[in-house]
Amino acid sequence: MPELFTSFYQQFLSTSLLEWLATITGFMCVHLAARQNILNWPVSIVSVSIYAYLFYQNRLYGDAVLQLYFLFTAIYGWHYWGSADKKDLVPVTKLTNRQQLYIAILTLSLALLIGTILRYATNSDVPYMDGLCTAMSFVAQFLLTRRVLQNWLLWIVVNLLYIPLYLHKDLALTAILYVAFTIIAWNGYREWQHAYKQEKKHCA
């Protein structure tokens, strides 16, 4: 146990300036998203651009490609959220049980596909874990851009999976960030759920 804490402390001390910047902007964008603030998207663009480089350097190729996807969805999300009336946000929506089943099947299929590609086409030492986290993040990010309530539940699961993965890759500060992401995602779910219920009342 002391060796584990020593290793973690050493990782923390060796954190690069780029990882610090990516971590700070990453925290800001998720916090702003949970608060339904449209500024989460431009801040996200800064964070994902840096992380794309960091993940590539650490052989997390699925995550590196994922950051490019995040970049495009940030631009799309910025436009989509801003397409509503200046005084209103696009309303929060909720998946039906059948839609949730389709999303689960799609996510697992995508995870298997990405994991297989990473295993045979790259030198990744964690192809299937990287593939699973990448697939879940792909889907969760799309649901976020469309303001679907369940995006936060998916983010909670994937954030928890990312913590040991980043510790394995000596990205201690990023692992800490994902602990914070998990807490923010839970708060985001509660806030969006409240907004969804309020919107339903107004429509009734």
Longest dimension (CA), the chain: 59
What residues are paired with 93 via a beta bridge?
148
Q: In this predicted model, what pLDDT tens digit does every residue of 20-66 receive, in sequence order?
A: 899 899 889 988 988 889 899 999 999 999 999 999 998 888 889 88
pTM of the predicted protein model: 0.80
d(C-alpha 129, C-alpha 155), whole Å: 15
Q: Which two tokens stand for residue 96?
A: 């039906």
pLDDT band at 13 (very low <50, low <70, confident <90, very high): low
Look at residue 88 in the predicted model and tell me its pLDDT. Answer: 60
Please name the residues in contact with 61: beta carbons below 8 A apart, sequence gap of 6 or more: 55, 118, 122, 124, 130
How many residues belong to the chain?
204
Q: In this predicted model, what pLDDT tens digit does every residue of 79-131 receive, in sequence order?
A: 888 876 544 667 889 999 999 999 999 999 999 999 999 999 999 899 999 99
Residue 62's CB is within 10 A of a number of other CB atoms, namely 26
- Residue 158 scores a pLDDT above 70: yes
Which residue ranges make up each domain of the chain? 2-203
d(C-alpha 55, C-alpha 47), whole Å: 12
